Structure 1
Amino acid sequence: MSPEIAWLILRATGQTLHMVAVAAAVGSLVGVPLGVFLATSGKEELFAAPMTNRILGAIVNATRSTPFIILVVAIIPFTRLVAGTSIGTNAAIVPLTIATIPFVARLVESAIREVDPGLIETARAMGASPLQVVWKVLLAEARPGITLALTLTVVSLIGYSAMVGAVGGGGLGDLGIRYGYQRFMPDVMLAVVVVLIVLVQAIQSIGDRLARHFDKRIRPR
């Protein structure tokens, strides 16, 4: 492999990491609170708002059910409004972030709902406010599940970032299409696949270790 190709792969890897990092950070900042709200705003729950819960749930479901590549194309006007262009790495971050928010929200909601309801009742009986219950009970107990949820999100984003290469989004997917496919360079395509696999394996390993660290349950030896 020539130094020029090696440099292209290195640059594309940096672009992919940039897209994934920004989309994961922004998506999590919105998605985690949204997931907590969805898990605590049903009838007779901490922040009871059934109507709002149903409306937000419907929006989340609609966004999640839209195939990502269709979402990318459908929101091109919005992407241009936010990023000033519809192609390139910065433009790709917009649909990646929008796809991340409902994904994170549902995973976090699921992790929150797995917390023992008895702990919530105990905390409320001791006079804890709803916000204290969320912070000191729900989020604390759900940390392993939330960590795995965010890990899955980042892994999925790596795959999505490769898909935006099909519409000029930059990164490893764009490199694989332009050089590996269109220019018939199988070595470049192989290198792109290997880098993607390494990234996924590394992130999954880190996420699994963090989840085990946060899991305080006693395990049989």
Structure 2
Amino acid sequence: MAEFFNEYGALLWEGTLETLYMTLFATLFAYVLGLPMGVLLTVTKAGGVAPAPRFNAVFGWLVNLLRSLPFIILMFFIIPFTRLLVGTSIGATAALVPLTLSAAPFIARMVEQSLEEIDTGVIEAAQCMGATRWQIVTRVLLVESVPSLLRGLSISLITILGYTAITGSVGAGGLGNLAFRFGYQRYQKPVMYATVLLLILLVCVIQIIFDLAARKADKRTR
């Protein structure tokens, strides 16, 4: 065991940091895109705060189209765009582009589902008090759905964490890259087992943190 960590400990640490870098920043950028998309899907549907059924149908179809693209195909398909944006298609930073674009529509639907859980009576009460559409979105919909949004965030983080393992197989770095280069190509099974164990540990930590945060934010549990 000591010999294994002496030989691969630094690589595993570096791979873990690269995986966290890709996961956290891709999730951040995906929410920058996906959160407004989810809000737009919610408020423009029939009976929403700003109903626009035709726009909602077209926009919803576009979101579904983007969600239907398998991640590995999207990753290769947008290589020219990735190179244009970050100057390279290899490395952890380059991986942020396909990770973000793949996760954003998924997050949009997660946000939409969270916002739809809000009791319509709360929205109607805000409208009766003269709240504007912007106030309803920012002070009612988003605030009341925080526990659900936090649970959705944990799912998004874990999903993107899984995607980083795929990007590792094409040179993006991270634990997936270690598993591919050493565990698969060089048949060094201990490295494969170590990367899998680290990924499981990261998933468990993420789930525990956001479960606690969601319970703390949920008014019903107070």
Taking structure 1 as the reference length, the TM-score comes to 0.95
Mapped pair 1:43 → 2:46: yes
Mapped pair 1:32 → 2:69: no
Which stretches of structure 1, 4 residues or more, deviate above 3 A after TM superposition?
Answer: none
Q: Is the 8 A contact 2:115 2:145 kept in 1?
A: yes
Q: Pick one of 132, 135, 138 that aligns with 1:135.
A: 138
Map 1:153-172 → 2, pairs under 5 A: 153-172=156-175
Taking structure 2 as the reference length, the TM-score comes to 0.95
Mapped pair 1:78 → 2:78: no
Q: Pick one of 212, 216, 220 that aligns with 1:217.
A: 220
Distance 2:202 2:17 in 1: 11
Structure 2: 5+ residue stretches without partners: none
How far apart are residue 80 of structure 1 and its match? 1.0
- Equivalenced residue count is 219
Distance 1:214 1:185 in 2: 44
How far apart are residue 52 of structure 1 and its match? 2.5
Q: Is the 8 A contact 2:215 2:221 kept in 1?
A: no
User: What is the aligned-residue identity percentage?
Assistant: 46
Structure 1: 5+ residue stretches without partners: none
How far apart are residue 84 of structure 1 and its match? 1.0
Distance 2:48 2:212 in 1: 32
Mean CA deviation greater in 124-133 or 38-47: 38-47
Q: Which amino acid aligns with 2:215?
A: R
Mean CA deviation greater in 199-208 or 43-52: 43-52
Who is 2:115 aligned against?
112
Q: CA RMSD in A?
A: 1.2
Q: Pick one of 116, 134, 147 that aligns with 2:150.
A: 147
Distance 1:195 1:119 in 2: 43
Who is 1:125 aligned against?
128
Distance 2:5 2:30 in 1: 37
Mean CA deviation greater in 53-62 or 140-149: 53-62
